[in-house]
Structure 1
Amino acid sequence: MNPIHFFTLGYYPEYLLTGIIIGIVIGIYAFFRVRYALNDSKLSKNKVMIISAPISIFAFICCLNIWSNAAIYTLYIFLCSLFADIIRLIVKYPLKDKYLKFMPKLHKKGGLALILFMIIIISGVYGMNHINQTKYNMTTQKIGNDSYKVIFISDTHYGTIQNPQLLKDSISRINDIKPDIVILGGDIVDERTSNLEMKEVFKELSKINSTYGTYYVFGNHDTQPSQTDYENGNRTFTDTELNQTIKENGIRILNDEKTTINGDIVLVGRSDAEWYINTGRINVSEILNESDLSKYVIVADHQPLDEVKNSKSGVDLQVSGHTHAGQVFPFKEIIEYEGIHSYGEYTIGDMNQIVSSGLTGWGWGIRNEGKCEYVLININ
Structure 2
Amino acid sequence: MQLLIFFSFLLIYLALNFYVAYNGWVWLKRSFNFRFKKTYFLVMFVISFSFFLTEMFTIPGFRWVGYIWLVMFGYSLLLFPLLNLIYFLNKKRGIKWFGFSAIAFYLFIFTYGSYNMWSPVVVTYDIEIEKESELDELKILLVSDIHINETIGPKSINRLINLSNEVGPDIIFLAGDVIDNSIEPYYKHNLSEIMSGLTAPMGVYAVLGNHEYYGNDIPIFIKEMNQINIEVLVDEITSIDDLFYVVGRKDYSDRVRASIHELTNELDPTKPIFLIDHQPREFSEISAAGVDLMVSGHTHKGQLFPANFITNAMYENHHGLLQVDQLHTIVSSGFGIWGPPFRIGSRSEVMEINVRFVN
Task: State TM-score, norm by structure 2.
Answer: 0.81
What is the CA–CA distance in structure 2 between the aligned matches of 1:133 and 1:367, rounded to whole Å?
16
Cα gap change, 1:86 to 1:239, in 2 (>3 Å) = same
Conservation of the 8 A alpha-carbon contact between 1:198 and 1:242: no
CA deviation string 1:22-78 (max 9, x = no partner): 5424523543663365358768xxx6875786577568757999x963433322234
Residue equivalent to 1:27: 18
How far apart in 1 are the matches of 2:151 and 2:52?
23
The runs of 5 or more residues in structure 1 that have no matched partner are 1-12, 94-102, 227-237
Corresponding position: 1:161 with 2:160: no
Higher deviation after alignment, 239-248 or 134-143: 239-248
Q: Is the 8 A contact 2:206 2:233 kept in 1?
A: yes
Structure 1 window deviating more from structure 2 (343-352 vs 115-124): it is 343-352
Evaluate the alpha carbon distance shift between residue 39 and residue 203 of structure 1 in structure 2; reply closer, same or farther with a 3 A threshold.
closer
Q: Tell me the distance in 2 between the aligned counterparts of 1:346 and 1:14.
A: 37
Indicate conservation of the 8 Å contact 1:138/1:377, yes or no.
yes
Provide the alpha-carbon RMSD of the alignment: 3.4
2:162 to 172, 187, 191: 172
Q: Does 1:221 align with 2:200?
A: no
Q: Residue by residue, what CA displacement relative to the aligned partner does 1:261-296 show, whole Å, maximum 9, x if unpaired? A: 2333211000112222xxx53211101121111111
Does structure 1 residue 71 correspond to structure 2 residue 76? no
Q: In the alignment, residue 240 of structure 2 is paired with which amino acid?
A: I
TM-score normalised by L of structure 1: 0.77
How far residue 222 of structure 1 moved from its aligned partner, in angstroms, is 2.0
Q: 2:106 aligns with which of 78, 96, 117?
A: 117
Is this contact kept in 1: 2:293–2:329, CA < 8 A? Answer: yes
CA distance in 2, matches of 1:29, 1:240: 44
The percent of aligned pairs where both chains have the same amino acid is: 24
* Match among 316, 324, 328 for residue 348 of structure 1: 324
* Counterpart in the other structure of 1:250: 229
Aligned to 1:266: 245
For residue 237 of structure 2, give the secondary structure of its aligned residue in structure 1: strand
Superposition misfits of 4+ residues, deviation over 6 angstroms? 13-16, 40-43, 62-65
2:275 counterpart of 1:299? yes
Task: Say yes or no: does 1:210 pair with 2:200.
Answer: yes
3-state SS in 1 of match to 2:22: helix
Question: Aligned pair count?
Answer: 341
1:283 to 241, 259, 281: 259
1:338 is matched with 314
Matches within 5 A, 1:69-218: 69=67, 70-85=69-84, 92=90, 104=94, 106-107=96-97, 110-144=99-133, 146-162=136-152, 164-194=154-184, 196-197=186-187, 200-218=190-208
Structure 2 counterpart of 1:96:
none
Distance 2:88 2:180 in 1: 46
Q: 1:111 to 1:193 in 2, by over 3 A?
A: farther
For residues 240 and 162 of structure 1, do their structure 2 counterparts lie closer, same or farther at Cα, with a shift above 3 Å needed? closer
Q: Structure 2 CA distance, aligned partners of 1:173 and 1:88?
A: 48
The 1:132/1:161 distance shift into structure 2, 3 A limit, reads same
The CA distance in 2 between the partners of 1:149 and 1:138, in whole Å, is: 10
Tell me the distance in 2 between the aligned counterparts of 1:149 and 1:42. Answer: 63
Asked whether the 8 Å contact 1:188–1:222 carries over to 2, the reply is yes
Q: For residues 57-104 of structure 1, give each alpha carbon's deviation from its aligned partner in whole angstroms, at most 9, with x where no partner exists.
A: 568757999x963433322234343444456578x48xxxxxxxxx92
Cα gap change, 1:61 to 1:205, in 2 (>3 Å): closer
Residue segments in structure 2 that go unaligned for 5+ positions in a row = 56-65
CA gap of 1:169–1:58, structure 2 versus 1, over 3 A, is closer
